[in-house]
A and B are shown apart, each in its own frame.
Chain A
């Protein structure tokens, strides 16, 4: 082969690597919790603070844990999708993250409450257990209480249609 082609080949390899790199989202950090039991918590619910909800209570269901807050703008952007999922009969639980009770309640009253219930994590301590680093985050938890999928950032129709719904159907069947 002609040696003059070598720089072009080198450039091609470099461009291919950089091109793939451009399609990756550096904000998306793979969670080590996929395939592991959802970290246990028992937190008061937003609607009735004297009541507690724990991961155990949702056992036997395929459910979503959606981390949200009233101060989180992308959560509002995501909100209609959560409502669609809820209407489809998928149990969505909220984890109200580092929020104030009054603000969170007002937010739900204003934009609608698609959650079966929301639990409150004002200090973000449970958030750390779940590896939360940006709201919204959504966890798919199976019947055995194992985390099967995590999405960081607002859910979008592509993720819902291509990944989330097929995975939920599969987990429900098993």
Chain B
């Protein structure tokens, strides 16, 4: 029953990331073992968890750099989630939490770094390269078109033009040619 397998697979794909984002408090860590109670299970305040996820999705886990703190199971990410949860609980805004992390880990911790002189190439570099590439491509295509046009319409003399016109209207000539097939054989 391939359809059943597909459904199970699809359900799994939906369920696994959901579990990953809602299970931080269960992740074992040295900290959890020595100081229970720092991380409370999350379900008691869904609004807070929602804010926690929206902040932690913006922050890079420094251990596994392509994962956000929201997604990562690294022990540091667990600690940071707990820290951020406490901060949000104590009334800090999302902005303040991000600033707190930037002050400690630098702009690298943000997936969307602020626009300044050090990040200007990061923000506009790809667009600039794309524009240059497109410009070169368009230039090249235009250049080719003028070349092709020049090749297609070389300077012809009157006689050549006439000959060309005869050739261009050449369907009749072709038929005749077919008729005269035997003649040609003789000619040879």
Residues of chain A at the chain B interface (Cβ within 8 Å) = 26-27, 29-33, 39, 69, 71, 98-100, 122-125, 127-134
Contact = CB atoms under 8 A, between A and B. Distances in A.
17 contacts: A29-B62, A29-B105, A29-B106, A31-B105, A31-B106, A71-B30, A98-B31, A100-B33, A100-B34, A122-B30, A122-B34, A122-B35, A123-B31, A124-B31, A124-B76, A133-B76, A134-B63
B38 interface: yes
A29 B65 CA distance: 10
Contacts of A127: 79
Contacts of B54: none
| Interface SS of B by simple majority | helix
A131 B104 CA distance: 5
B98 interface: no
Interface of B: 29-31, 33-35, 38, 62-63, 65, 75-76, 79-80, 83, 102-108
A131 B105 contact: yes
| Interface SS of A by simple majority | loop
Given A123-B35, A131-B106, 18 more contacts: A26-B65, A27-B65, A29-B105, A32-B106, A33-B104, A98-B29, A98-B75, A98-B79, A100-B33, A122-B30, A123-B38, A127-B79, A128-B79, A128-B80, A128-B104, A130-B104, A133-B76, A134-B63
A128 B86 CA distance: 14
Nearest to A69: B30
B31 A129 contact: no
Contacts of B33: 100
A29 B59 CA distance: 14
Nearest to B84: A128
A75 to B, nearest CB: 14
Nearest to A97: B30
Contact of B105 (A26, A27, A133): A133
B67 to A, nearest CB: 13
Contacts of A39: 104
A129 B79 contact: no
A99 B108 contact: no
A123 B29 CA distance: 9
A125 B30 contact: no
Contacts of A131: 104-106
A59 B17 CA distance: 48
A134 B35 contact: no
A100 B102 CA distance: 29
Contacts of B105: 29, 31-32, 131, 133
A99 B38 CA distance: 16
Contact of B79 (A26, A71, A99, A123): A123
- Most chain A CB within 10 A, of B35, B75, B105, B106, is at B105
B62 A98 contact: no
B62 A134 contact: yes
Contacts of A69: 30
A71 B30 CA distance: 10
B35 A30 contact: no
Nearest to B101: A128
- Most chain B CB within 10 A, of A99, A125, A127, A134, is at A125
